[in-house]
Amino acid sequence: MNTENNVKTLIVKKPLKLDCGKTINEFPIAYETYGSLNEKKDNAILVFHALTGDQFVTGQNPITKKDGWWSYAVGPDKAIDTKKYFVICANVMGGCMGSFGPSHEDPNTGTAFGTNFPVITINDMVNAQYNLLDHFGIDKLFSIAGGSMGGMQVLQFISNFPDKAKTVIPIACTSSHSAQNIAFNELGRQAITADSNWKDGDYSSKNTIPNKGLAVARMAAHITYLSKKGLQEKFGRKLQEREDLKFGFDADFQIESYLRYQGSVFVDRFDANSYLYITRAMDYFDLAKQFKGNLSDAFRATKAKFFIISFTSDWLYPTQENKDIVIALNSIGANVGFVEIESDKGHDSFLLNVPDFLSALKNFLDKSYTEN
């Protein structure tokens, strides 16, 4: 898709050494902002998006024309109140909404990088985004927040830049991808690379698109975002516009139709190679490993105030994995709050209208801001 006209882009001209060993000398970071930076520049919140998110947090996404992914949480008078705070969000490196990614042109070949793009990590992502602080002249962020992969970036950011945020809000995340997490991501990657239109990642120069594989990957992931109970309550065995089973392979059940729809709309807004790269970054994420197995050491240098949020029905990053972060923080006497929100909406709860979550988020931010 053509993203050029609607995307603010910072061209970073400072070399960045990636975890894979390669150095990139110049790269674009596409971003969006909401609200106004105050004079003291102490009201900025850097929001990190999840696997399939982008920089368009709230309001209408100018590319997809749909609501931003965190419209329930971010906006005037909302939990992250844009009348009060200056919200910044960047498209992650590896993404497909303007930041440096596999669909960009490789200067060596004149065609898209495809799988010649370097494998990037959560660490690379936050190091790239750190440049936005200099860009806006922000010495210290009021907060950093994000759910799912956004939460991983939050954890990595405060570990890398311990004095650059006053408050830290990792939501529905983990400090390292479990075997089951990796398995689901690998399933998605296999679905994409199995598509004969994938062409070893070189589909753009071959004028094909591996949409079928990408749709299957999305369907697989989507199931993991919803709870078994939530699915049962919403769909159960309800039939799709028919009186009875049709004894065929069309979508008899609403859940089938819903999944197919999720797959089909996703491919209009997402790039298959980006899906490969970003899931890889998630699978590689293991914050404790960066500190010889001691997760507490990742946070030892920061005085930031943490607020960790999990959801009862999230089986992708269950409460226990969020609690493990709390435990690591408690063991070094860090300033940490934790809440498990009751919700049937599974991992997706952080994106949805879950009032207890939104009020907890708002209260924490507004109270912390008053103490500013």
Binding residues for a second copy, rule: CB under 8 A, are: 19-21, 115, 118-119, 176-180, 182-184, 186-187, 189-191, 193-197, 212-213, 215-216, 219-220, 223, 226, 228, 231-232, 234-237, 245, 247-249, 251-253, 255-256, 259-260, 263, 276, 280, 283-284, 286, 289, 315, 318
Single out the residue of 137, 150, 136, 145 nearest to residue 166, CA to CA: 145
Among 314, 343, 348, 349, the active-site one is 314
How far apart are CB 256 and a second copy at their closest, in Å?
5
Single out the residue of 188, 198, 229 nearest to residue 52, CA to CA: 188
Nearest residue (CB) to a second copy, 187 versus 332: 187
Nearest residue (CB) to a second copy, 32 versus 195: 195
Helix (H, G, I), strand (E, B) or coil at 114: helix
The two three-digit tokens of residue 109, written as one number: 């070949």
Instruction: Assess whether 202 carries a catalytic annotation.
Output: no
How far apart are CB 49 and a second copy at their closest, in Å?
23
| Side chain identity, residue 267 | V
Strand 141-147 relative to strand 44-48, pairing: parallel
Among 252, 347, 348, 349, the active-site one is 347
Nearest residue (CB) to a second copy, 75 versus 318: 318
What is Dmax (Cα atoms) for the chain? 66
Instruction: Assess whether 148 carries a catalytic annotation.
Output: yes
The rounded distance, in Å, linking the Cα atoms of 309 and 294 is 22
Beta carbons within 10 angstroms of residue 23's beta carbon: 10
How far apart are CB 114 and a second copy at their closest, in Å?
11
Nearest residue (CB) to a second copy, 187 versus 352: 187
List all residues 6 or more positions away from 136 whose beta carbon is below 8 Å from its beta carbon.
37, 41, 44, 88
Q: Which residue has the tokens 């390669």?
A: 22
How far apart are CB 360 and a second copy at their closest, in Å?
26
Single out the residue of 190, 144, 161, 181 nearest to residue 282, CA to CA: 181
Strand 27-34 relative to strand 86-90, pairing: antiparallel
Instruction: Assess whether 314 carries a catalytic annotation.
Output: yes
Q: Are 210 and 198 in contact, with CB atoms under 8 Å apart?
A: yes
How far apart are CB 232 and a second copy at their closest, in Å?
5
Query: Residue 95 has what DSSP assignment?
Result: -
Nearest residue (CB) to a second copy, 286 versus 356: 286
**What burial letters (b/e) apply to 164-180, b meaning 16+ CB within 10 Å?**
bbbbbbbbbbbbbbeee
Nearest residue (CB) to a second copy, 35 versus 201: 201
Nearest residue (CB) to a second copy, 58 versus 290: 290
How far apart are CB 264 and a second copy at their closest, in Å?
11
Query: Residue 363 has what DSSP assignment?
Result: H
How far apart are CB 352 and a second copy at their closest, in Å?
17
The two three-digit tokens of residue 123, written as one number: 């660490």
Inter-CA distances, 170 with 8, 24, 156, 181, 284, Å: 26, 28, 10, 18, 18
Q: Are 282 and 51 in contact, with CB atoms under 8 Å apart?
A: yes
How far apart are CB 181 and a second copy at their closest, in Å?
9
- How far the first Cα of the chain sits from its last, in Å, is 42
Among 148, 175, 204, 227, the active-site one is 148
Active site residues: 148, 314, 347
